Structure 1
Amino acid sequence: MISSGQVVDSLATPLAGWLLDCTGKRKLWHFSGSLAVALGFSLIFSMKYTDLTSDILIYYILNITLFQIGWAIVQISHLSLIPEISRSHAHSSDLTAIRYTASVCCNMTVYLVTLFILQQNVESQAVGPRDFYKFKEIALIITFIGILSSMFFYCGLLGTYSDGYETLREPEDVNNLNDNNRHFLKSVVMYTVALMYMASRLFTILNLIYMPLYIDERSTTDQTRIEQVRETIATVPLVSYIASFLTSILLKYKNGICNDKIIYAVGTFFGLLSSILIGIGVPTSSDSELYIIAVLIGISGSTTMVASLCLTANFVKTNGHGGGMIYSIVTFTDKLISGAVVLLVQNMQCTPRSLCPHFYENVLSYVCGVVSIIGLSSMVTLEVKTNRH
């Protein structure tokens, strides 16, 4: 079911971008996608537990499909609205930073709502089929918050502006802002920006997936700390989220201090530093180093994500292309490569697990380190391409 959802999401993303650019009705498409997300997400968690049959499987796949199509439309329309409604590059950067801050707040809200609901009327420590009504309640609460937020969003949308943007274009295109003879797929700049965004997302995803497994892996070498693993697995990602949240707030004030490329380079440096610290080895006697690494990961994910999205908005605004297709290509690259990398990493895992006692440590150190280097290399390529004489 999850695989089917990922496939649908990958296919719907470029289609959503094409439809948005063809019609230009970004607000209307966003509203339609929001309805699909609200309906699909609610229905996924509304069915009472029963034996898995073909009819039940079809029910879930159809609702997941509805949700993923709506999600693709909402994501692309929301991103492409940023360069459309921004007054300037500074305004676009502010909106991007605020958007990322809101996404971190959403993640924390989901965790808090889930924690509160699951603690009500606890019959056993294990979470099982009897708790289906709790997850239904969680889904409905989150959906209500989402619908309410969307209503405020539509009420707050203003007009369209187009001045004050930093030029992010190849030298041969400087005098051809609206040259339709040069398709955006022929632009090296777009691919470098897409790689920067992909590297940022992949770095965050790999740490999100493998950090808990790495913490569990560390406990196998120190039997006296097994009882603390459950708490550490919960608190380390929380510290990373808090660091990411605070950083995203500070990024709102970056304009006039340094540009997006420097911000991205700084974020990549923090990411590389976290990979190096993990590679050197974190002592099992204390978790303080883990929390330092979590802070570095949170700062890296926030800065690189905001910077890459700001650069994407610059490319859209200063090249005269439709934002829908540009954002869909950028996010499609992220989904395609991220899924492939995670699948490759899983297939490299040793069987039995004891043959590779430091497998997840190596993933967070070497794989995440290489991803950071790819992002940094893409940023350097972008700098060379846009400043060539």
Structure 2
Amino acid sequence: MGDQLSADEDSIQPLKRCSILSYGVGHMLNDITSACWFTYLLLFLTDIGLSPRNASIVMLSGQIADGFMTVFSGELIDRFGHFKLWHVGGSVLVAISFSSVFGGCLLCQLLGINTDLLETIGYSIFAAIFNVGWAATQVSHMAMVNCMTLNDTSRVALASCRNAFTMVANLSLYAIALVVFSIFDAKSSSGIQNQYRWIAYVSIFIGSCFVGIFLLGTKEPQLKQQQCKHYQRVSWTYWFSKLLYYQVALVYMFTRLVTNISQSLLAFYVINDLEMTQSSKASIPAIIYICSFVVSIVLQEMKWNGWRLKFFYTIGAILWIFSGAGIFFLPSKIHNFMYLLSITTGIANALMTVTGISMESVLVGNNLQGCAFVYGSLSFLDKISCGLALFFLESFQSSPSTEGCHDIRGCQSVTRYGSGLVPAFFALLGAIVAYTMKIHDIKPVPLVEPLLV
């Protein structure tokens, strides 16, 4: 009994800076490849000749594989644990398969046939394999938060640090892309494939280095094993009976829809609608993630409670609504205004993402025997909804127009809706659901060592 009390006391102590930082870098490989996936996949596939609809099928196949794998891996992690084993296995699969997603059609090369249907199938296979590994890494990494500490403020710090390094990963991706786009010529399909192949190679190398730091610096969480000795495993029906589960699921889903849909169509928007330079498809996203990174760092220093989570989420949603409206109505002749909108978008993304993920930790609380299922099932909703939403939008997408939007009355393209109004609408829905949530108060315990010195 004395050992159990001592373990419980240790588990509620705030985490130190090194533990938070080593955990935060663990999702870098997933994040840098995800940034490339959502920002450039549709653009890459349409540039090499696939129709927007077939390109969206490739993305949808990956999202479906990702969604089902999150539930499957969540169930197995809840049963058997071994977070780091799942993490390293998923990372290896991501590293091996990702270059093929942005490479040539391997299936076409093997069969010696090159048709639109075969290309779509070939890219879809590797997209699915990549997302299976991605899901295993994501669920294991997110579920670790609740099993590393019972301190609620440290859990928010872990989520915020993870989000900060997500921004670092995205910035790294756009820096790589900017260099590659400047160096390599891309006047042909083979040139485009060569560009993205190099982006994939460098991204995998950088992400794998940070995975190594995570594996060396983060210990396998022990709270789950300790709790297994005293509590039975939490069943699915327990979560399905909680109203907060559905509310958090909707908030998380709407948040991901906001960030992923806008990110996926942003490159099309700045090039085709605003008629900006080719470098803008790297510089505009970079500004967004610089702002998100700064805000994520600041959020790590705050003392958190349930009211503040809801308040800052709502602030982020309101900012996104204004940004989305600006993006939708912005004519190409004043496209430089997009730089200002990028700043507000980045701030809104950070506020919504950090607080949205932290709400998942609040939902799980101390029920560590079902934490992976919660993260897996919520990610399932995220993946499937994003895949279907992008498929729906791309089904109405036509070939890029040579005429930009010079007048507000002409701003009716699919990319404008997808980059502006659609995410703004989901942000509004997320704010409404967050307002209805009843979150128990988190005891505001400061970090042992502030991350900002």
Alignment TM class, shorter chain as reference: 0.7 to 0.9
Summarize the Cα distance change of 1:179–1:96 in structure 2 as closer, same or farther, 3 Å threshold: closer
State the Cα deviation string for residues 87-116 of structure 1 (Å, max 9, x = none): 511111111111111112112212323433
Counterparts of 1:80 and 1:316, CA distance in 2? 10
Look up the equivalent residue of 1:21 and give its one-letter code. D
Aligned to 1:113: 176
TM-score with structure 2 length normalisation?
Answer: 0.69
SS in 2 for 1:10: helix
* Alignment match, 1:207: 262
Q: Does 1:242 align with 2:290?
A: yes
**1:143 CA drift (Å):** 2.4
Counterpart in 1 of 2:69?
A: 12
TM-score in terms of structure 1 length: 0.80
Q: Which residue of 1 aligns with 2:316?
A: 267
Q: Does 1:184 align with 2:233?
A: no
1:137-148 correspondence to structure 2 within 5 Å: 137-148=198-209
Matched, 1:366 2:421: yes
How many angstroms does 1:138 deviate by?
Answer: 4.0
Matched, 1:71 2:130: no
Match of 1:297?
A: 345
CA distance 1:133–1:48, change in 2 (3 Å)? farther
Q: Is the 8 A contact 1:36 1:67 kept in 2?
A: yes
Q: CA deviation at 1:326?
A: 0.3
| Matches of 1:343 and 1:47, distance apart in 2 | 22
| 1:159, distance to aligned residue in structure 2 (A) | 6.6
Task: Report the CA distance shift for 1:271/1:88 in structure 2 as closer, same or farther (over 3 A).
Answer: same
Q: Please tell me the residue identity of whatever aligns with 1:266.
A: I
- The aligned residue for residue 50 of structure 2 is none
How much does 1:49 deviate? 7.8
1:382 corresponds in structure 2 to 437
8 Å Cα contact 1:83-1:314 kept in structure 2: no
Contact kept? 1:86, 1:161, Cα under 8 Å? no
CA distance in 1, matches of 2:142, 2:169: 17
Give the Cα–Cα distance (whole angstroms) in 2 for the partners of residues 269 and 18 of structure 1. 36
- Distance of aligned partners of 1:40 and 1:204 in 2 relative to their CA distance in 1, 3 Å threshold: same
Following TM superposition, by how much is the alpha carbon of 1:20 offset from its aligned partner in structure 2, in angstroms? 0.6
Q: What is the CA–CA distance in structure 1 between the aligned matches of 2:214 and 2:440, rounded to whole Å?
A: 35
Distance 1:376 1:256, change over 3 A: closer
Tell me if structure 2 keeps the 8 A contact 1:201–1:301: no
Instruction: Say which is worse superposed, 247-256 or 185-194, in terms of deviation.
Output: 247-256
Verify the 8 A CA contact 2:105 2:123 in the aligned structure 1: no
Preserved contact between residue 161 and residue 300 of structure 2 (Cα < 8 Å): yes
- Gap change, CA 1:54 and 1:195, over 3 Å in 2: farther
Distance 1:127 1:94 in 2: 46
Contact 1:217 1:358 in 2 (8 A): no
Structure 1 residue 31, shift from structure 2 partner: 1.6
Q: 1:111 to 1:49 in 2, by over 3 A?
A: farther
Amino acid at match of 1:39: I
Give the conservation status (yes or no) of the 8 Å contact 1:48–1:133. Answer: no
Instruction: Check the 8 A contact 2:263/2:419 in 1, yes or no.
Output: no
Q: What residue in structure 2 maps to residue 194 of structure 1?
A: 249
Q: Which moved more, 1:304-313 or 1:235-244?
A: 235-244
Change beyond 3 A, Cα 1:17–1:352: closer
Q: Which amino acid aligns with 2:243?
A: V
Q: CA deviation at 1:344?
A: 2.8
Aligned residue for 1:20, secondary structure, equals helix
Aligned-partner residue type, residue 212 of structure 2? M
Q: In the TM superposition, what is the alpha-carbon distance from 1:253 to its structure 2 partner?
A: 1.5
Contact 1:177-1:320 at 8 Å conserved across structures: no
Cα deviation for residue 64 of structure 1 reads 4.0
Q: CA separation of 1:141/1:217 partners in 2, compared to 1, >3 Å: closer, same or farther?
A: closer
Distance 1:158 1:128, change over 3 A: same
Paired with 2:384 and 2:317, the residues of 1 have a C-alpha distance of: 21
Q: Secondary structure at the match of 1:259?
A: helix
The Cα of 1:2 is off from its aligned counterpart by 4.0
1:28 aligns with 2:85: yes
Q: Which residue of 2 aligns with 1:96?
A: 159
Question: Partners in 2 of 1:266 and 1:11 — Cα distance?
Answer: 32
Consecutive unaligned residues in structure 2, runs of 5 or more = 1-57, 224-230, 404-408, 442-453
Asked if the contact 1:49/1:132 (under 8 Å) is kept, the reply is no
1:128 matched to 2:189: yes
CA RMSD after TM alignment: 3.5
The alpha-carbon distance between structure 1 residues 158 and 319, as it changes in their structure 2 partners (threshold 3 A), is same
